[in-house]
Amino acid sequence: MFGDIGHGGLLFIFSIYLCWAKDSLGPGSLLKAAVPARYLLLLMGFCAFYNGAIYNDFFSIPLNLFGTKWENNGCTGVYPFGMDPEWYASEFDLLFFNSFKMKIAVIFGVI
């Protein structure tokens, strides 16, 4: 599973097209092989888009939608949605993100 707004959005749009045009695809179409997995692709695209929104990643580029809630003397409030972009400038960003993504994957796997 990956979490990215751009890649998840493309997969979601592609799977919506497969759901919509499943009957109009010809027998020689290359997309005909993906029709049986269209609902699986739809859920994969949705979950990837949602997790990308939580991680603030768009094609692996961090988004800074709401600014940061961190200042030199500490946190000034709760970040509205997703990850605070200040984590990307941290010395321990890789350690934090890998730990967070593993926990999210386990939670979704149990659900």
Smallest CA-to-CA distance from 85 within 56, 58, 49 is with: 56
Domain boundaries, the chain: 5-110
pLDDT at 3 over 70: yes
Angle ∠(44,87,63) on CA atoms, nearest 5: 55
Query: pLDDT tens digits for 47-94?
Result: 999 988 888 889 888 888 888 877 777 777 777 887 888 888 888 888
CA distances (Å), origin 57, targets 51, 68, 100: 9, 15, 14
pTM, to two decimals: 0.76
- Give the model's pLDDT for residue 42: 95
